[in-house]
């Protein structure tokens, strides 16, 4: 009996820790007047929802999705062939190559992005979509290369050898055997990269300001201006695609892919 009670108490505690901050966002998004020391809003309504939907939020959401799609497409085009080579061939200094892709995450992001921003200003790519795409790819390549290498490593090599013994070329084997088997992993990598790009803030703010506006940057600007209702609405909208895509990611990110990270 006491074990059941303890388990229920733990579940309630976890639910409170998880949903209490979210409930605060929901309350603030409908609040029109809330002053201290009142424990609850004095006036609620849809005023700020209307204000947000008629303002720059939709433009920020649209540009953020566009950048995330471009980043995801370019990252996959670059990393799928590279990951296959790293997984299947004795590439010299393979460990060093994989480590290089980890370097942007091995140091604090701010100095990395500041140095990258300086370089992008020199080549006239700052405050442009192309510059923001490049700065997003600095971080996105880490997720894609490591994930896709683990995916191809998890595919039994004897399946490809059987196809080549039947006369298929290495290229045909890749497209007819390895790539179809790696599809769930490619989908998982796609979702990881897309979510990273959609939520990326520091690089977007440094490189894209003042002309490139994404939802995290929009949320930051409203928070700095103490527009708590607008920031709360932006946060709720930003969480929706993340929650939906994470549910899909859980379906495609298989355990055997994760087990291969230690063998790379």
Query: Is the predicted pLDDT of residue 163 greater than 80, yes or no?
Result: yes
Question: Buried b vs exposed e over 148-170: b needs ≥16 C-beta within 10 Å?
Answer: bbbbbbbbeeeebeebeeeebee
> Poorest-confidence range of 88-97, 145-154, 156-165?
88-97
- Contact between 150 and 264 under an 8 Å Cβ cutoff? The reply is yes
pTM summary value: 0.81
Same domain? 4 vs 93: no
Percent of the chain at pLDDT exceeding 90: 12
Same domain? 137 vs 11: no
Residues 6+ apart with CB under 8 A from 264: 86, 98, 146, 149, 150, 153
Distance CA 178, CA 160 (A): 7
Average pLDDT over residues 135-161: 86
Structurally, the chain folds into a number of domains equal to 2
Model confidence at 202, in pLDDT bands (50, 70, 90)? confident
Distance CA 70, CA 106 (A): 25
Query: Is the predicted pLDDT of residue 121 greater than 60, yes or no?
Result: yes
Same domain? 31 vs 137: no
Domain assignment of residue 237, given as a range: 50-263
pLDDT in tens, 217-234: 988 888 777 778 888 888
Same domain? 40 vs 125: no
- Contact between 60 and 222 under an 8 Å Cβ cutoff? The reply is no
H helices present in 155-227, as ranges? 157-165, 170-173, 179-181, 183-199, 202-208, 215-224
Region for residue 126 given its phi and psi (left: phi exceeds 0; alpha: psi -120 to 50; beta: otherwise) = beta
Same domain? 211 vs 166: yes
Same domain? 64 vs 143: yes
CA atoms within 13 A on the CB side of 46: 3
Model confidence at 262, in pLDDT bands (50, 70, 90)? very low
- Contact between 193 and 144 under an 8 Å Cβ cutoff? The reply is yes
């Amino acid at each position: 009996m006491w074990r059941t009670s303890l388990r229920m108490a733990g579940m309630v505690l976890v639910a409170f820790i998880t949903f209490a901050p979210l409930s605060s966002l929901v309350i603030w998004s409908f609040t029109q007047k809330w002053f201290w020391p009142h424990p609850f809003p004095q006036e609620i309504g849809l005023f700020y929802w209307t204000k947000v939907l008629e303002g720059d939020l939709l433009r920020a959401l649209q540009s953020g999705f566009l950048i995330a799609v471009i980043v995801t497409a370019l990252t996959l085009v670059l990393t799928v062939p590279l990951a296959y080579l790293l997984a299947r061939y004795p590439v010299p200094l393979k460990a060093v190559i994989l480590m290089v892709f980890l370097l942007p995450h091995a140091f604090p992001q701010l100095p990395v992005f500041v140095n990258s921003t300086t370089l992008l200003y020199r080549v006239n790519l700052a405050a442009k979509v192309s510059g923001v795409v490049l700065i997003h790819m600095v971080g996105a390549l880490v997720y894609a290369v490591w994930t896709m290498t683990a995916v191809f490593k998890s595919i039994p090599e004897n399946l490809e050898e059987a196809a080549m013994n039947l006369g298929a070329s290495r290229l045909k084997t890749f497209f007819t055997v390895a790539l179809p088997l790696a599809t769930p992993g490619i989908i998982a990598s796609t979702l990881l990269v897309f979510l990273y790009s959609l939520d990326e803030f520091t690089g977007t703010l440094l490189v894209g300001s003042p002309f490139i506006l994404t939802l995290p940057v929009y949320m930051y600007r409203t928070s700095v201006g103490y527009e708590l209702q607008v920031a709360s609405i932006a946060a709720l909208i930003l969480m929706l695609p993340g929650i939906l895509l994470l549910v899909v990611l859980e379906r495609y990110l298989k355990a055997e892919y994760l087990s291969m990270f230690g063998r790379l």
